[in-house]
Homo-oligomer: A and B are copies of this chain.
Amino acid sequence: MRDEFIQHLPEIKEELIAREKAFDGNFLHLTRDTVKTANGKIRSREYINHPGAAAIIYLFDDETTLLEYQWRQPCESAFLEFPAGKLDPNEDPLVCAKRELKEETGYSATDWVYLGRIHNAIGYSDEKIELYLARGLTTGDQALDDGECLSVKRVPVKEVFEMALNGEITDVKTLIGAYWLEKWLKGEMPVKSL
């Protein structure tokens, strides 16, 4: 299907004219590109440089999973989320997923399934998040980052599926994780490799 769109790429592609750093903050780093649009206009495109991230959907044998409840200051509220973390420079997403699993919840997993990639803010960020399913879980010690406060709970996947529809979950990686987990449990998720 996508091929039918790809033939239109020349009509929409933007050509990079110039690139500069726009902002270097404590946490956020921005680039400003000057581009020529397909119809010849010169435009400025500002966006966040993000290292990418990995998100982990735990699946215990009793069909429960782990959800975190975490404060997110940009939205001034707390969110239900599948555990996730930013990649270190040049880090493999699966290595990151295993590290985050251990750091945020203390668990290890013996069986990993790659579910897929999402782009969460294509208008102003180059971030992509790789989603993994983790099975064969064994418990350990939690080792949170300094200043990281969160609450973790084991929740039946059926309740996650309900919350993904009724408005209780609004975080995108968690919504899409629920979607793909439900499909995977039904045997409807295509096998993928990163």
Residues of chain A at the chain B interface (Cβ within 8 Å): 1-2, 4-6, 8-9, 11-14, 16, 22-23, 25-28, 30, 32-33, 35, 37-39, 41, 43-48, 67, 69-76, 78-81, 116-128, 146-147, 149-151, 153, 155, 159, 162-168, 170-172, 175-176, 179-180, 183, 188-190, 192
- Please tell me how many copies of the chain the complex holds: 2
Cβ A73 vs Cβ B179 within 8 A = no
Query: Please, how many angstroms separate the alpha-carbon atoms of A76 and B168 in the complex?
Result: 33
Q: Closest residue to A43 on the B side, CB-wise?
A: B147
Listed A/B pairs (8) with beta-carbon separation below 8 Å:
A9-B78, A25-B30, A28-B30, A37-B149, A72-B123, A75-B126, A118-B175, A175-B179
A180: chain B residues within 8 A (beta carbon): 165
Known A27-B46, A116-B170; further 16 A-B contacts with Cβ < 8 A: A5-B153, A8-B69, A12-B150, A22-B23, A23-B23, A25-B30, A26-B32, A28-B30, A28-B124, A37-B147, A37-B149, A117-B167, A119-B171, A124-B125, A125-B125, A165-B180
A164: chain B residues within 8 A (beta carbon): 179
Partner of A128, one of B12, B120, B170: B170
Cβ B23 vs Cβ A25 within 8 A = yes
